[in-house]
Chain A
C-alpha cells in the first residue's frame, strides 16, 4: 500500500478514474450482460468436482459411513469439521457487512454485495453437510418433525438457528439489491436473448419498480438497519448453538464452556478470510480494480488479524486451563493434541493459521493485496485443519476401557481415523460449489451495489459542499456549473443519460424524462459523447 493510498479518506471510495456513473453501471452489470470466455470452462470444471462429490456421497449411501473412514473408535470426523467450517465462513460476509453498515464505514461499499453473496452461498452448503454427517438421509426429516424431534438436542436447535440465519441472510442480500433492480432492468431492456428475458422477469418479480422516492428510501434504509442489527446476534447464536453440540457432551475436549465464544471468533476469522479471497478473485475476474483497492484489502486484513489474535488467545486459554486441571482424560487429550498423535495438524494451524497471517500483516512490505490474500488463503486451510483438531481427538479418546486404569497418559487405546477418498471428494465438491454458485449468482445480480455506491458519493458530496461553504471562495455557488452539477461527469452540455452502445438501452431524446431508476439517473449530464464509452477514459472534474 502506498502512502497516498493509506492517507485516502472515506471519500476516496470512488477514485478519480472511476468517477463516471456509466462506468459504474457498466462494471456492475458486466457479469450479467457479458459471458467471459473463461465462464463456461470454469462452470463446467467446478461442476465436475461437484458431481464427483455426489458420486462419493452415493458410494457412502451404498456402503455406509464406514466408507468415509468412520468407525467405533472415531465416530465424528470430516463432515462435522466441514459443517462447522462452511457455516462459519458464511459469517464473514453477513457480519462484516452488517458491522460496516452500522458503523457507516464508507469504504465498505464496493465489498458489500460480494460479502453478502458469499454468505448467501456458503450457508446452504454448510447446512447440507448435516446429511452425510448423519449417514442416512431417509430419516433426516425426523430430526425436525415435532412427533420425533428432541428439544433437548443441540442438533434441533442448530436447525432452528441456522434456518433463521439463512432467512436473514437471504433478506439481507435482497434489501440492498432492490434499488439496483430497475437499473439492471433498464440496462437489459434491449437484450433479446432468453437469459436477459429471464433476468428481467426475475427483477420484476423482486421489485423493479423502485423509484427512489423518499418513503421508499426511508422504508428500505430502516429495513436494512434492522436487518444489520438482527444479523449479528443471529450469526452469534448460530455458532453458539453449533458449539453446544460439542460443549454439552461429557467428552474431554468437547465439554468446554469457552466453546461458544471460541466458535464464533473462529467463524468470523475464517469468514473474513473468505471475503478477502472472494473479493480478490472478483476483482481480478470481473475487472473491479478501479473500485476495490489495496486499502480495502488492508482494512479487511486488519479485521482479519484482530480475529486471528483473538482466536490465538482463546486457543491458548483453552489448552492452558485444561492442561492445568490435569484430570486424566483432559491431560490425555491435551497431550495427544500438543505433542502426541495430533501434533502435526495442531501446529500446522498454529503456524499457518495463527502466526503467518499476523506476520504478513505486521510487515509493511507484505501488507499488500498479494500478502493479505495469501494470509487469508492460509487461514482458510488452517482453520479447516483446526476444526479437524477440535472434532477428531476427543472422538478418538477411549472411554470404554477406563477400568483398565491409566497406561501412560492415554488410559487405553486411542481410536484412529483414516481419510478415505469419499469425504475428501465431498469436501472438495463443497469447496468447488462456492465459486460455482457465486458465478451463477453474479450472472443475474449486479456485482457492485450501484445505488449504495451512488448514495455514498452523494453523502461525500454533501460533506465536500459543507466543507467548501466553510472556506471562503469555495462556496458551491462559486464553482462553475454549480447548479445541477453532476457528481460524476463534467457539465458542459445537458443531456439525459444515454447508455453506451453495446448493451445499454438507447438514449431517450434530449429533454425527455428518463426512467426513475436511481437517485442520480435524472440529474446526469454529459460533457462529451466519448465519456459514454465504457471502455474509454473517464475523467471527472471532482
Chain B
C-alpha cells in the first residue's frame, strides 16, 4: 500500500495513522526494558490453586493463558513457571516450584507438595522461547502440609536409640580427657621451663 497526496484519505485510515503515531510515541517514551517487552505479544494468565484430595496434602496449580488477548500468539507450547513467594531470605526471588508447557487449550498444570502450612502467595509466569515474559498471574492459597522435621516422637521410638546415648557420653568423655591431657602437657612443660 502507498500513500498519495492526491488521494483522499479515509477516516478509518487517519484514525489508524493517529493511533500508530501515538503508540510509537508512547513506546519510545517508555524505558528500554518495557519497550522490549511491549514488542512481545501480550496475553493474560489466570492462576488457580486447589487442594488435591487423598494422600498427603498437595496442591494442584493450573495456569490458563487467555485466548482473547493473545491475538496471534500460540496458546500451546508456552512454558509456564510456577513459584511461591518466600520470606526466609530478605530480597530473595520467589522459590521456583517447577514449570510446565501449555497444552492446546493454553493450560499448564503442576502438582506441588507444600512444605509448610499457611497462606502462600503463588505466582505463575508464561515466557516465550526467547525468555521474555508473556504474562503473569498470581493467587493466594492457604495450604496444609504434613512435611515436618523429624518428629520428636519418632526420635524417641528410633530403634537402638540407647546406643546413641552411650556413644554421645563416650565421645564427650574422650573430649574431656583430651583437654585434660593437652592442658597438663602445656602446664608441665611451662613449669619446667620456668623453674
Contacting pair B92 A66 (CB below 8 A): yes
| Overall SS of chain A's interface | helix
Shortest C-beta distance, B112 to chain A (Å), equals 6
User: Which of B81, B97, B189 is in CB contact (< 8 Å) with A223?
Assistant: B189
Contacting pair B193 A64 (CB below 8 A): no
Contact mask for chain A residues 404-440; partner B; CB cutoff 8 A; 1 contact, 0 none: 1001000011010000000000000000000000000
CB contacts (< 8 Å) of B110 on chain A: these are 401, 404
Contact mask for chain A residues 215-227; partner B; CB cutoff 8 A; 1 contact, 0 none: 1100110010011
Contacting pair B185 A400 (CB below 8 A): no
Contacting pair B193 A178 (CB below 8 A): yes
User: Which of B81, B155, B175 is in CB contact (< 8 Å) with A160?
Assistant: B175
A172 to B77: give the CA distance in the assembly, Å: 67
- Say yes or no: is A168 at the interface (Cβ < 8 Å to chain B): yes
CB contacts (< 8 Å) of A223 on chain B: these are 185, 188-189
Contacting pair A171 B186 (CB below 8 A): yes
Contacting pair B189 A220 (CB below 8 A): yes
Contacting pair B193 A210 (CB below 8 A): yes
Shortest C-beta distance, A79 to chain B (Å), equals 14
- Say yes or no: is B36 at the interface (Cβ < 8 Å to chain A): no
Contact mask for chain A residues 131-163; partner B; CB cutoff 8 A; 1 contact, 0 none: 000000000000000000001100001001000
- Say yes or no: is B13 at the interface (Cβ < 8 Å to chain A): no
Contacting pair B113 A400 (CB below 8 A): yes
CB contacts (< 8 Å) of A207 on chain B: these are 189-194
Interface residues of B in 140-195 (CB under 8 A from A): 155, 164, 168, 171-172, 175, 178-179, 181-183, 185-186, 188-195
- Say yes or no: is A230 at the interface (Cβ < 8 Å to chain B): yes
CB contacts (< 8 Å) of A401 on chain B: these are 97-98, 110, 112-113
Contacting pair A168 B58 (CB below 8 A): no
CB contacts (< 8 Å) of B93 on chain A: these are 71
Q: Which residue of A lies closest to B165 (CB)?
A: A151
A232 to B49: give the CA distance in the assembly, Å: 57
- Say yes or no: is A234 at the interface (Cβ < 8 Å to chain B): yes
Shortest C-beta distance, A465 to chain B (Å), equals 30
CB contacts (< 8 Å) of B73 on chain A: these are none
Contacting pair A413 B98 (CB below 8 A): yes
CB contacts (< 8 Å) of B88 on chain A: these are 72
Interface residues on A, range: 35 or more
Contacting pair B175 A72 (CB below 8 A): no
Q: Which residue of B lies closest to A160 (CB)?
A: B175
CB contacts (< 8 Å) of B115 on chain A: these are 400
A366 to B175: give the CA distance in the assembly, Å: 45
Shortest C-beta distance, A221 to chain B (Å), equals 11
Shortest C-beta distance, B177 to chain A (Å), equals 10
Quick one: which of B110, B172, B183, B191 has the most chain A CB within 10 A?
Answer: B110
A215 to B193: give the CA distance in the assembly, Å: 11
A413 to B82: give the CA distance in the assembly, Å: 10
User: Which of B89, B99, B100, B164 is in CB contact (< 8 Å) with A70?
Assistant: B89
Contact mask for chain B residues 83-101; partner A; CB cutoff 8 A; 1 contact, 0 none: 0001011111101111110
User: Which of B92, B111, B155 is in CB contact (< 8 Å) with A71?
Assistant: B92
Contacting pair B193 A209 (CB below 8 A): yes
CB contacts (< 8 Å) of B195 on chain A: these are 209
CB contacts (< 8 Å) of A413 on chain B: these are 81, 96-99
Contacting pair B182 A407 (CB below 8 A): no
Interface residues of A in 163-200 (CB under 8 A from B): 164, 167-168, 171, 174-175, 178, 181
Contacting pair A226 B179 (CB below 8 A): no
Contacting pair B185 A226 (CB below 8 A): yes
Interface residues of A in 227-255 (CB under 8 A from B): 227, 230, 234
Contacting pair B98 A64 (CB below 8 A): no
Q: Which residue of B lies closest to A170 (CB)?
A: B186
CB contacts (< 8 Å) of A66 on chain B: these are 89-92
A69 to B61: give the CA distance in the assembly, Å: 28
CB contacts (< 8 Å) of A26 on chain B: these are none
CB contacts (< 8 Å) of B181 on chain A: these are 226, 230
CB contacts (< 8 Å) of B58 on chain A: these are 403
CB contacts (< 8 Å) of A219 on chain B: these are 188-189, 192
User: Which of B89, B90, B98, B193 is in CB contact (< 8 Å) with A398?
Assistant: B98
Shortest C-beta distance, A521 to chain B (Å), equals 16
Quick one: which of B89, B90, B183 has the most chain A CB within 10 A?
Answer: B89
Shortest C-beta distance, A218 to chain B (Å), equals 10
A413 to B95: give the CA distance in the assembly, Å: 9
Quick one: which of A160, A207, A404 has the most chain B CB within 10 A?
Answer: A404
Shortest C-beta distance, A414 to chain B (Å), equals 8
Interface residues of A in 41-72 (CB under 8 A from B): 63-67, 70-72
CB contacts (< 8 Å) of B190 on chain A: these are 174, 178, 206-207
- Say yes or no: is A208 at the interface (Cβ < 8 Å to chain B): yes
Q: Which residue of B lies closest to A401 (CB)?
A: B98
A151 to B181: give the CA distance in the assembly, Å: 23
- Say yes or no: is A514 at the interface (Cβ < 8 Å to chain B): no
Contacting pair A73 B96 (CB below 8 A): yes
Contact mask for chain B residues 105-136; partner A; CB cutoff 8 A; 1 contact, 0 none: 00000111101000000000000000000000
CB contacts (< 8 Å) of A65 on chain B: these are 89
Shortest C-beta distance, A498 to chain B (Å), equals 25
Contacting pair B179 A415 (CB below 8 A): no
CB contacts (< 8 Å) of B182 on chain A: these are 164, 167-168, 171, 227, 230
11 further A-B pairs in the complex, CB-CB below 8 A; given A167-B179, A216-B192, A219-B192: A66-B91, A70-B89, A152-B155, A164-B175, A167-B183, A178-B193, A208-B193, A230-B181, A400-B95, A404-B98, A404-B100
Could you show 9 A-B contacts with beta carbons less than 8 Å apart? A72-B88, A72-B89, A73-B96, A168-B178, A204-B194, A207-B193, A401-B98, A403-B111, A415-B95
4 nearest CB pairs, A to B:
A207-B193, A413-B96, A71-B92, A401-B98
